[in-house]
Amino acid sequence: MTCTAKLLDDRAPITCDAVWNALPLGGDVYHAKYARNEIYALLPPFAPEEPPLENPTITPIPGDLCYFSFTDTQLGTASYGYEQEAKHQGQRRVVDLALFYERNNLLINGDAGWVPGIVWGSVVDGLDRMADACQDLWRAGALGETLNFRRA
């Protein structure tokens, strides 16, 4: 399933520049356990320098694309459920690029508390189809599926 998003370079210029210059990006897709209506891919860091927390949110809305950065210890507890073979295992820092497909999301984590994300993009076409596919991931599982970001 595909959808089209626009960069929010007027609100998150540093993050948008980093993402744009690194495209295409992608990896195994996961459905969030904590945030609610979110799919995401975990990637190696790609920005020359970690973006500041520009255009932050803890309550993403449908269509938001968010950037998060985590250390290996933040994602290292068994509660996250990542398999040992996951590509991000063993990396000191991991970037999480996420798509939120429905409302009522709250970025709070039982291990860490509030987890603000950088809103760097917004889906402008195809969110309804993507939301259906995301619901299917939640119910049927994400094994073998990927989430990819590329220039249109």
Query: What string of DSSP letters covers 84-127?
Result: TT-TTTT-SEEEEEEEE-SS----EETTTEE--EEEEEEEEE-H
Contact in structure between 104 and 37 (CB atoms under 8 Å): yes
Among 138, 149, 152, residue whose Cα is nearest residue 65: 149
Asked: is 4-79+88-149 a CATH 2.40.100.20 domain? The reply is: yes
Judged on CB neighbours under 10 Å (0-12, 13-18, 19+), 26 is middle
What one-letter code names the amino acid at 32? A
Residue with the two structure tokens 């210890």: 73
Cα 152 from Cα 150, distance rounded (Å)? 6
Where does 23-91 have alpha helices with state H?
Answer: none
pLDDT in tens, the chain (152 residues): 999 999 999 999 999 999 999 999 999 999 987 789 999 999 999 999 999 999 999 999 999 999 999 987 777 666 666 656 666 666 789 999 999 999 999 999 888 899 999 999 999 999 999 999 999 999 898 889 999 999 98
Largest CA distance in the chain: 39
Q: What length is written for the chain?
A: 152
| pTM attached to this predicted model | 0.92
